[in-house]
Structure formats: structure tokens, C-alpha cells
């Protein structure tokens, strides 16, 4: 009786960390011996079921060899974990849809700490999960392999995609750093930004108090009339989310050409053509294709509206503004903390990368943009800080922003307020 009770102890009590790892690796090695890589990488439903069934058998046998009987529930839990490592994305399967649908970002530190950011939040929180280095590398190889990418000392920084799936149709983007450049070097440093699993609706932003309904109506009119709109904000302020939401207002039937690096914006209609930038493939003669190339090509595709992902360099800015100044309508995002910084940053990018003098760059900005939307973080919440009309003539040599709405900095966190400072038609933004 006593022996029976001891043999039904939990796996955690029966095996220390190293012994548990040995058991897991023992089963994984056996599965890798019995099933070819093609089956484990892209199993059919029948093959998946067969592998999982065999994992359960091997886990039971491994415990018996150690004279342990932890119980069916414990064995099934460990079998499920091993199956995730072999057939899925290991620890990520516990954080990605359908297991979790409340996460917007996942980050793994090179010393093993794992954190997540929930949707609507702006800070990371730690999760009680510590994947071991071997599992992390297996997961990363499974993600990078199909994209013909690798992470090693000769290529220590990789940008890749998290592929879309039935449960996570939005996919995501991956940034991975090799331990050689991410001390202490126990494992890679990984950051995964998840994209929305469904189109972002304007009502979603109003419900979360990012702006009020009257402000959204102003932006609806701007988009429907084809105004050239620039959405600005700092890191993680929700620029892409705002862009995705506003694209719902574009008239049905418009031909929309979307240029991104990487693809993030989800526009739920058929008349959208996406162009995606790509870096130069190291060690090959494959040439890079950047945002400016995409904008140049898009101008020859008869678009009704251009949607451009974040402008990061002067060449992309010049290509975009050239398009906007020659009769094309469009919307894009930019990393800038204020309207004034928007103009200064764009002028700086065009000056540094394209040799455009500051005065000409500022005149270009004023001519090419109609509406500027500024987003920021207040009280750990994403808010629209201002909506401004961009005046067409410089004022004292500077781009002039005529503010239509401004966030009330004195408003409480739970009840944000915005002040209307000018009327839409008085600001000269009425449909022409």
C-alpha cells in the first residue's frame, strides 16, 4: 500500500528538473528516430495522431523504467508538452491562438525570462514559463526554416514572419538575436509582435477610449474624401492599429494598393493589392526591394488610395510625397512624438538620406499631407493626442498645424476628455 502511494506521486515530486529533461529528450530522440523529418515538420492529420499516440506510449514506458507511476493525468500532460515540441511550436503553442487570444506581444530574454503584453496594454508582464534552450532553438528553427532564414554567428540578427494559421489569421512578425550579440548568451533573444486576428473596427478604438465618436467622425470624413493622412506616435502607441481601423472608411470599390515592411495592416475587402518589401538575401545575388520601390511601382498600378506602412527613411518619404503631390491619395505612419517632431523628423530624413535642404523638405511635407493624427500613451493607455490640419503654406519657415481636437491632459485616467479647438469646415478640410 505504501509503495503504491509513493508510485502515484506527481511527476514534479518524482523527478527533479534534470531527470525530467532527460526523460523528455529520451522520448524526443526516439520519435526523431522513428519518424522522418518531413512527417514531423508537416504532418497530415493521420500522421499527427499517430505521432501523438506513440508519444503517450513512450512517456509511459519511460516512467516505468524509472519505477514511477505518476498517474494518467500527469503522463498525458507531459505527452502533450512533448507533442507541442515535436509537432508544433513548443512553448509558443501555449501563448498563441487558440490557446490564448488576449496577447499582442511575446518576448523571450536571452537569460530565459518570458514575458507577454496583453491587448490594449502598454507594459509587459512575466509568465510562469521557462523554456529550456534546446526547445527554444527547435521552435526558432521550425519558424525560420520554411522562410529560408537562419540565425547563427554569421547572421546574428533575423527578421521573419510568424505565419498565419486558421486560429491566428493575422500572423505576426519575429525579431531574433543570436546569443553571440545578446548576452548572457544562454539562448536567443526573441520578440514576436502578433497582428490582429480580425480586421480592426473603428468602434473598437472608441470602446477603448482611444478617441471619442465625434473625433472618429472627423477621420471618417477625411478617409472617405481621400485626404492624405499621416498617423504619428512613439513605440507601441498603436499607429498600425489606427491605420487599420481608418481603412474601414475607404469607399467600397476603391482600388487600394498597400505597401508595407513587413505586412501588418489588415483591410477586409477584395480590392486590395499588397506589396511587401524584402531585405537583400545574404550570400545571394537577390536584390533588396524596399518601401520606396513599392511606392514607385504602386504609382503605376492605378490606385485610388495608397496605404503605406511606417516611413523609416528619407528615400521612402520622398517616394511617398512624390506620389501624394501628383494626385494620389494615401495614408501612412511615422515614428514621431508630436506634430512639430513630425515635420522635423521628415525634414531630417529627407536631408540625411536624399540631400534635400530643410526649407524644401518642409514645403514638401506641407504640400503632401492634409491631416496629421498624433497618438501617445497617457496613464498607460493609448490615446489620440491631437488631430490637426496641415496648412499648405509654411508659417515663419515652419510647417503649421491647425489643431482640430486636443487631448485634455488634466482629464482623469478612467474618463479621458478631448477639447474641440476648430470646426472641420472652418479648418478648410471640407470635401472638395
Residue 246, C-beta contacts closer than 8 angstroms, at least 6 positions apart: 202, 219, 223, 229, 231, 331
Q: Which of 3-7, 181-185, 313-317, 424-428 has the weakest average pLDDT?
A: 3-7
Which residue blocks in 157-273 are alpha helix, DSSP H? 202-207, 213-224, 239-246
Cell of 180: 553571440
- Closest residue by Cα to residue 385 from 349, 421, 425, 430: 421
Percentage of the residues of the chain whose pLDDT score is greater than 90: 67
Alpha-carbon distance 176 to 171, whole Å?
16
Position with higher pLDDT, 64 vs 2: 64
- Residue 3 above 70 pLDDT? no
Q: Give residue 283's pLDDT.
A: 65
Q: Could you read off the pLDDT of 244-281 as tens digits, one per residue?
A: 999 999 999 999 999 998 888 888 899 999 999 887 76
DSSP structural state of residue 431: -
Helices 45-65, 17-34: inter-axial angle, 10-degree rounding: 140
The structural domains of the chain, ordered by start, are 2-86 (no CATH), 93-194 (3.30.450.90), 202-420 (3.40.50.300)
Positive/negative CA dihedral, 325, 328, 331, 332: negative
Q: What is the per-residue pLDDT for 424?
A: 66
Q: Which residue has the higher pLDDT, 151 or 41?
A: 151
The three-class DSSP label of residue 295 is helix
pLDDT band at 39 (very low <50, low <70, confident <90, very high): confident
Record the pTM: 0.80
Bridge partners (DSSP) of residue 176 are 158, 190
Tens digits of residue pLDDT in 334-376: 999 999 999 999 999 999 999 999 999 999 999 999 999 999 9
* Percentage of the chain modeled with pLDDT above 70: 94
**pLDDT higher than 80, residue 12:** no
> Which residues have C-beta within 8 Å of that of residue 95, sequence separation ≥ 6?
103, 106, 116, 127
R_g over Cα of the chain? 26
Cell of 229: 493622412
Per-residue pLDDT at 371: 96
Order the strands of the 157-162 sheet from edge to edge. 125-126, 114-118, 103-108, 189-194, 172-177, 157-162
Amino acid at each position: 500500500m505504501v509503495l503504491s502511494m509513493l508510485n502515484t506521486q506527481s511527476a514534479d515530486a518524482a523527478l527533479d528538473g534534470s531527470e525530467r529533461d532527460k526523460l523528455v529528450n529520451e522520448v524526443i530522440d526516439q520519435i526523431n528516430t522513428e519518424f522522418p523529418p518531413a512527417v514531423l515538420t508537416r504532418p497530415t492529420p493521420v500522421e499527427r495522431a499517430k505521432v501523438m499516440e506513440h508519444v503517450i506510449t513512450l512517456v509511459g514506458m519511460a516512467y516505468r523504467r524509472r519505477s514511477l507511476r505518476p498517474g494518467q493525468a500527469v503522463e498525458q500532460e507531459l505527452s502533450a508538452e512533448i507533442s507541442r515540441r515535436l509537432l508544433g511550436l513548443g512553448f509558443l503553442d501555449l501563448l498563441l491562438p487558440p490557446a490564448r487570444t488576449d496577447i499582442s506581444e511575446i518576448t523571450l530574454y536571452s537569460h530565459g525570462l518570458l514575458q507577454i503584453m496583453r491587448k490594449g496594454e502598454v507594459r509587459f508582464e512575466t509568465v510562469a514559463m521557462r523554456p529550456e534552450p534546446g526547445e527554444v532553438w527547435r521552435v526558432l528553427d521550425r519558424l525560420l526554416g520554411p522562410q529560408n532564414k537562419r540565425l547563427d554567428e554569421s547572421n546574428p540578427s533575423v527578421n521573419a514572419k510568424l505565419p498565419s494559421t486558421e486560429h491566428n489569421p493575422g500572423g505576426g512578425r519575429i525579431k531574433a538575436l543570436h546569443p553571440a550579440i545578446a548576452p548572457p548568451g544562454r539562448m536567443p533573444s526573441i520578440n514576436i509582435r502578433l497582428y490582429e486576428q480580425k480586421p480592426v473596427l473603428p468602434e473598437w478604438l472608441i470602446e477603448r477610449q482611444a478617441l471619442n465618436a465625434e473625433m472618429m467622425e472627423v477621420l471618417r470624413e477625411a478617409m472617405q474624401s481621400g485626404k492624405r493622412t499621416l498617423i504619428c506616435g512613439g513605440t507601441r502607441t498603436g499607429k498600425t492599429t489606427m491605420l487599420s481601423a481608418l481603412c474601414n472608411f475607404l469607399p467600397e470599390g476603391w482600388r487600394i494598393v498597400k505597401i508595407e515592411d513587413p505586412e501588418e495592416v489588415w483591410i477586409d475587402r477584395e480590392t486590395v493589392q499588397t506589396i511587401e518589401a524584402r531585405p537583400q538575401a545574404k550570400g545571394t545575388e537577390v536584390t533588396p526591394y524596399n518601401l520606396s520601390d513599392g511606392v514607385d511601382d504602386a504609382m503605376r498600378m492605378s490606385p485610388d488610395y495608397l496605404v503605406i506602412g511606417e516611413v523609416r527613411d528619407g528615400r521612402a518619404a520622398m517616394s511617398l510625397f512624390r506620389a501624394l503631390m501628383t494626385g494620389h491619395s494615401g495614408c501612412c505612419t511615422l515614428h514621431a512624438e508630436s506634430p512639430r517632431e513630425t515635420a522635423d523628423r521628415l525634414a531630417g530624413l529627407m536631408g540625411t538620406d536624399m540631400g534635400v535642404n530643410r526649407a524644401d523638405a518642409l514645403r514638401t511635407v506641407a504640400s503632401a499631407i492634409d491631416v496629421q493624427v498624433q497618438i501617445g500613451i497617457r496613464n498607460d493607455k493609448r490615446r489620440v493626442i491631437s488631430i490637426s490640419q496641415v496648412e499648405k503654406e509654411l508659417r515663419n519657415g515652419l510647417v503649421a498645424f491647425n489643431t482640430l481636437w486636443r487631448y485634455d491632459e488634466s482629464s482623469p485616467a478612467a474618463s479621458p476628455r478631448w477639447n474641440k479647438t476648430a470646426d472641420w469646415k472652418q479648418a478648410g478640410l471640407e470635401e472638395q
